[in-house]
Structure 1
Amino acid sequence: MTALSRWVQVLDQRAQQNLAETSQARERLEHTRSQLDRLRSMADSAGVKKLHANVALYANAAGFRSGLLDMAEQCRDTFGVQQLEYAQAQAQLQAAVRQHGSMQSVLERARTDLAVQQQRQEQKRMDELAGQTWQRQRRLSDTGNR
């Protein structure tokens, strides 16, 4: 029983650890998503259409926009990897929670079975004491009637 209880504690700790890892993965994912949105917004606002009159400004704005789009592409790749990491973390968390729940129910069943067994033993002991008392009382009454 003690080993099973310890195992359930270990599984609970694993589930808590997986929850923390999932939370961290979600935070990284959200950070990257907001970073990607900012890069896209900056690239969209770095318009080069109005700068045709000045070639130097046009080239500078085009280079800046191109750099932003390259950074956004790298960020998108990172975002894809982080989505996979988050999905894996969620799957591991769900598996850990299921395993913990399963072993928790096994532990509760074992505790219930033990309590029932102890109750039966106590009842048996009480029945034996009652039987011994009844036999003594019967012997005393039989001795007293003679």
Structure 2
Amino acid sequence: MDKSYDEIAILLKCHLIVEHYLDIYLVEELGLKELKKAKLNFYNKVNLLPENKVVYFVKPGIIKLNNLRNKVAHNLNVEFTKDDLGQILFILKIAREDIENCSFIESIEKFTVLACTWLSPPDSKIQSYFVESTSH
């Protein structure tokens, strides 16, 4: 009971935020208006992300975020390090310049912002620029 669970709380909160934006993307961009009725779990929602859209760039990191959240769900004493970030760190290194000195949880927070940005319904012109730039 003496252990601080602040990092676990932040990880769970970040997972919930990403899921919120994932739901918005699936409804707005893919037209899945009955998404709530389907009662899909997080992993199944992530697997609905299309390969031919820019959101595919953050998909491996979103899957990793879910894996980290699942570890917490089964073991409150789990200790994370930056080595546990995997694809999250890989994506952050491509998208951000200021991540070298970030802690595990700071990296999770920065990835959450990045993932939610990519999951936000984009302007169609901006979307075409992203698709073109990530196709090379």
Shorter-chain TM-score range: 0.3 to 0.5
* TM-score under structure 2 length normalisation: 0.34
Please identify the structure whose Cα radius of gyration is greater. Answer: 1
* TM-score under structure 1 length normalisation: 0.32
